[in-house]
Copies of this chain bind each other. A is one copy, B any other.
């Protein structure tokens, strides 16, 4: 009996660092006055029961001839331009038999990252939400987002994964804002630059950016050396002998 009563779905936590307008979200600006960017997740609102009105992660049923990664990309193509998805990796599987009502459904979750520069057209039932204040979430989707966020934060410190969130060229201030948004705490610009250059993760293009209104020294433009995930701090301790 190869057939079963079990369905398999793929759900992707898509993150992007975004600015949210002040009039949308009162009383949330940095000291300097300009709004600080925040880590956002892409969600769609359920139009039908169960859990009508609650927000869900994008995704859907796994097709019979596709693997999980292909399925995740296919499903996201309806919500986000696939070319904008600079990183996609597998997270964990949620297999509680009663995690959703009806047919028993196993969910494989993915982490997807979109750079700040892209602003893909998204359907009407879909929106970016700051991870700091999530709406009512359907089923077990909230904990999936928490897992994804923890994974992202961890990898920011020992891989070059930020390449998938940053634009092609950027100033160190812009990159610091991205790290702050993704990590949820303040990061020192000076040390960020030193750590990433020492590890060979970023480098300087020759160019310089124009200084903003009110002056200030023009910033050097940097870029990520690699555009694929690389581990840059493999063993903090117990590393192999020379």
Contact = CB atoms under 8 A, between A and B. Distances in A.
* Interface class of chain A by DSSP: loop
A94 to B, nearest CB: 9
A32 interface: no
A157 B236 contact: yes
A181 to B, nearest CB: 13
Given A238-B179, A238-B195, A65 B97 contact: yes
Interface in A166-200: 179, 183, 185-188, 192, 195
Count class of interface residues, chain A: 35 or more
A93 interface: yes
A8 B2 contact: no
Contact of A64 (B4, B69, B235, B238): B4
Interface string A84-124: 00000010110111000011101010000000000000000
A67 interface: yes
Interface of A: 2-8, 62, 64-69, 90, 92-93, 95-97, 102-104, 106, 108, 154, 156-158, 179, 183, 185-188, 192, 195, 233-241
